[in-house]
Structure 1
Amino acid sequence: MRNIVLQMMTTLNGRLDDPLAWMGTVVDDQYRAIDRLYADYDTVLVGRATYEEMVGYWPGALNDHENGETNRVMAGRMHDYRKIVFSRTGTQAISPWHNVERAVVPDDAALSRFLMELKAQPGGDIHLSGGASLAQTVIGLGLVDRYHFFVYPVVSPGEPWFARLREKNDLRLTGSEHYDNGVVGLHYETVRDAKVERPTHFAELIA
């Protein structure tokens, strides 16, 4: 079974929308770490608006020598990935790009079925990209297997990642690191079928 992986920049308070309002620079060591994680993906899940932002930038970055080798490698990955653009209605056209397809999912049940079938297919990890509504919905459905957060040292009002959770999700920390710009990388995997009863007293939390 393939993994759906959410990998994103975020604020300390978990904002996911409008990154230009809060996001700082991406330094070299951070970008190299991001690229290493992207090497495991072969499929990207994306909403229509975010897809249009991607197609407006990445094709031109393939031959852009001003932003460095890592950015060109990333552009090549984006070109090659299978890109699935999700829509509730399918009425709005999407811009052409290599290896792109549309998935019309009128409701959460249809989205869940589509993703479970996708996970059962052979292939590499699946990157859940965004936008905010798609990411929140897939998280809320309990279908994200791993999380890679790059947490910027800032708090900012906006949409949080976990606003649509239906129940508590247990995560296991698998790694962490920090970068020259103060960003912290946090890596988690979802603990499936974690059966931990809610404590009745604070004393039960003290090991």
Structure 2
Amino acid sequence: MRQLIVTEFISLDGVIDSPGNGPYPHAGWTFKNVPFVAEAYEIKGREQVEATAMLMGRVSYDEFAPVWPSMTDEFPQYNAMPKYVVSTTLENPEWNNTSVLRSIDDVAALKQGDGGPIIVHGSATLAKGLAAAGLVDRYHLLIFPLLLGAGRRLFDDTADAMQKLDLVEHEVYSNGIIKAVYDVVR
């Protein structure tokens, strides 16, 4: 069985909306509001090397597909690896090595197959659905020292969403970013 890893830039109050760009009022908050410290992003390079497939929702695909393929120096492994988009409406994705999955059940079947880790970038709605279905094995979080207030959040605020996590790696950087890697306890 393959490991499914959700990786996110997240504010201290749980917002993951538009960390780089997009329509969100605070879009770009990861780079506009916190000084860049290269070592804080080491985990992003490691993810790219260790992952064998990328999974995303339709909104994230629509944001990544026009940009990431041209970033051959920054994302060579992501551009080459198999990519899966969970969508009921996407037809004929243009990004290299991209396939469409129509449901969470299709993701569960992909996870049951052979291969290495599957990385999930962005995709708040998808990540919540994967967590609710018990498919998430690990979270890679870069927690930014910001309170954004509103925006899409990674975790549900429903009473039945409790999940126990085990901290397996952490580090604090000079700019206030905290790396926290959690395994889901089953």
| TM-score bracket for this pair, using the shorter chain length | 0.7 to 0.9
In the alignment, is the contact (CA less than 8 A) between 1:17 and 1:131 conserved in 2? Answer: no
Partner of 2:97: 99
Q: Which residue of 1 aligns with 2:167?
A: 173
Report the Cα offset of residue 13 of structure 1: 1.0
List runs of 5+ in structure 2 lacking aligned partners.
none
1:50 is the counterpart of 2:60: yes
- 5 Å-filtered alignment, 1:127-166, equals 127-157=119-149, 158-163=151-156, 166=160
How many residues in Structure 1 have an aligned counterpart in Structure 2? 174
CA distance in 2, matches of 1:26, 1:123: 34
Q: Are the aligned partners of 1:52 and 1:94 in contact in 2 as well (CA < 8 Å)?
A: no
Q: Distance in 2 between matches of 1:168 and 1:135?
A: 15
Contact 2:11 2:148 survives alignment (8 Å): yes
Whether the 8 Å contact between 1:48 and 1:94 is mirrored in structure 2 is no
| CA deviation vs aligned residue, 1:163-192 (integer Å, no higher than 9, x gap) | 176442111010101223221100110110
Higher share of residues assigned helix: 1
- SS for the counterpart of 1:29 is helix
Q: Distance in 2 between matches of 1:26 and 1:59?
A: 24
User: Is the Cα contact below 8 Å between 2:9 and 2:142 reproduced in 1?
Assistant: yes
- With normalisation by structure 1, the TM-score equals 0.77
Greater alpha carbon shift after TM alignment, 93-102 vs 47-56: 93-102
Q: Distance in 1 between matches of 2:70 and 2:100?
A: 22
Distance 1:177-1:94 versus aligned 2 partners, 3 A rule: farther
| Kept in 2: contact 1:140–1:164 (CA 8 A) | no
Q: Which runs of 5+ in 1 are unaligned?
A: 63-71, 106-110, 193-207
Between 1:177-186 and 1:157-166, the stretch displaced more is 157-166
> What TM-score does the superposition give when structure 2 sets the normalisation length?
0.85
Root-mean-square deviation (Å): 1.9
| Equivalence for 2:87 | 87
Calculate percent identity across the aligned residue pairs.
29
